[in-house]
Chains A and B, each alone.
Chain A
Amino acid sequence: MGQNYYESEDLADFPGITEYAKKQGNKFFDYYRASTSAGKLSEREKSLIALAVAMTQNCPYCIDAYTNKCLSLGIGEEEMMEAVHVGSAMMAGITLVHSTQMRKIIRKKAM
């Protein structure tokens, strides 16, 4: 057991999520592979989407995995950073658009 909640070596344990629930775990990996491998979208496009999602979800494992994958695919630093900004803008927009609910309540409640 390491001293930190997140250890980079733990990424290698990802296949271990099948432990105690093999059937569900295997189904997840089938789904994961099908979703992240090239289809109508290329592997590059999907990797950039995954990188942006990893950022928005603050997942250190996914950030590690998909930064490396993007580098391996020859994706440039600028392209990766643009993907991060898409995620960032989406998160900002998602936060701000919810102010609609707040403003609706304010309008209803306020005298």
Chain B
Amino acid sequence: MKSVNQLAVLEKHDIRFAEKLVEPLTAAGVEILQINVGKRCNLSCRHCHVEAGGDRKEVMRRDVFDACLEAAAKNIDINTIDVTGGAPEMNPFLKDFIKEAAKLGKRLIVRSNLVILAEDGYSGYAGLYADNGVEIVSSLPDCDETRADRQRGAGFFRKFVRVAKKLNEMGYGRPGSGLILNLVHNPVGAYLPASQPVLEQDYRVRLKNSFGIDFNSLYCINNMPVGRYLDFLIASGNYDDYMRTLTEAFNPGAVKDVMCRKTVSVSWEGTLYDCDFNQMLGLPVDAEYSAHIGEFDMERLGNRPIVLHNHCYGCTAGEGSSCQGSLQ
């Protein structure tokens, strides 16, 4: 669905997110530079807010990568570079970017679906990630094969297990290795996740006992009513109920910790957004505060007003949600 149509659907929700806040939401610095390097992906997950897939053409160019590196290098307050997609590995410039970004000595995250590392031409990424201390974050919606495949496509789960075991052998997810493998749980349906510590323990036991897989942490992320997940909510007749659930679960205590307050999200073209969801909805940062990564202004971006819409309920529901998991 086009972003303008998605916004029209979200607009219909009659309890405005912005009206829930006691004061306007503003940034509190920029610590995380989240870079969406493109929408191409080897998967076409049913919940994907990016609506990524093999047919997408949007891929970040080298000059935009260079501008990201420059912004990260110049601004010491940026302590984390967080690479996402699509499948980031399908961007032909990613390997060079990883090597250069690692030299900056910041926390370097790649959000990988892992299964691409089992595809021809991509197996070298595991070694590249390990050599450059890349923290891998990977979505595993469920420890059950049927449910995981239902969301991410037939055959996903078995490939995931195979690659995760290989990463474990390299030290990823194992204590003392310094190589971090974090997993993401997001519900396979129109409901919110249970508490992160409970699900983390469940994942840890089930993955270890059934497959011998180790990981560091589990991030629970609420599905946002954006992209294919919004399509699913509408088609399944769950939209109103899900929005009501998110609204009723609004947690004022989570607002101060929402990720956008310390993040700037960069699109494949270099346009700046408050988060990856705003990016997909076509809601950029107001140009007055820096419109493009090439004109990154820490002072202005660090104090910018956050662009809000009703999908923002997704980050403040229950325990709160972010790309780093629950907020509490």
Interface residues of A (CB under 8 A from B): 8-9, 12, 38, 43-44, 68-69, 71-74, 76
Interface residues of B (CB under 8 A from A): 142-144, 147, 185, 187, 189, 191-194, 198-199, 202, 241, 244, 248
Which of A8, A12, A44, A69 sits near B202, CB closer than 8 Å? A44
Q: What is the minimal beta-carbon distance from A63 to any residue of chain B, in angstroms?
A: 14
CB-based contact A73/B199 at 8 Å: yes
CB-based contact A9/B244 at 8 Å: yes
CB-based contact B147/A72 at 8 Å: no
CB-based contact A73/B194 at 8 Å: yes
CB-based contact B147/A76 at 8 Å: yes
Q: What is the minimal beta-carbon distance from A103 to any residue of chain B, in angstroms?
A: 46
CB-based contact A43/B248 at 8 Å: no
Q: What is the minimal beta-carbon distance from B152 to any residue of chain A, in angstroms?
A: 15
A58 CA / B187 CA spacing, docked (Å): 27
Write out the residue numbers on chain B whose beta carbons fall within 8 Å of the beta carbon of A9: 244
Which of A38, A69, A71, A76 sits near B189, CB closer than 8 Å? A71
Known contacts: A72-B187, A73-B199. The answer to whether A8 contacts B241 by CB under 8 A is yes
A8 CA / B241 CA spacing, docked (Å): 9
A23 CA / B294 CA spacing, docked (Å): 61
Extra inter-chain contacts (11) besides given A71-B187, A74-B142, CB under 8 Å:
A9-B244, A38-B198, A43-B198, A71-B189, A72-B191, A72-B193, A73-B198, A74-B144, A74-B185, A74-B194, A74-B199
A7 CA / B193 CA spacing, docked (Å): 24
Closest residue of B by beta carbon distance from A43: B198
Known contacts: A71-B187, A76-B147. The answer to whether A43 contacts B194 by CB under 8 A is yes
A94 CA / B7 CA spacing, docked (Å): 54
Write out the residue numbers on chain A whose beta carbons fall within 8 Å of the beta carbon of B189: 71
Query: Interface centre among A43, A44, A72, A73, by most B CB within 10 Å?
Result: A72
Write out the residue numbers on chain B whose beta carbons fall within 8 Å of the beta carbon of A43: 194, 198
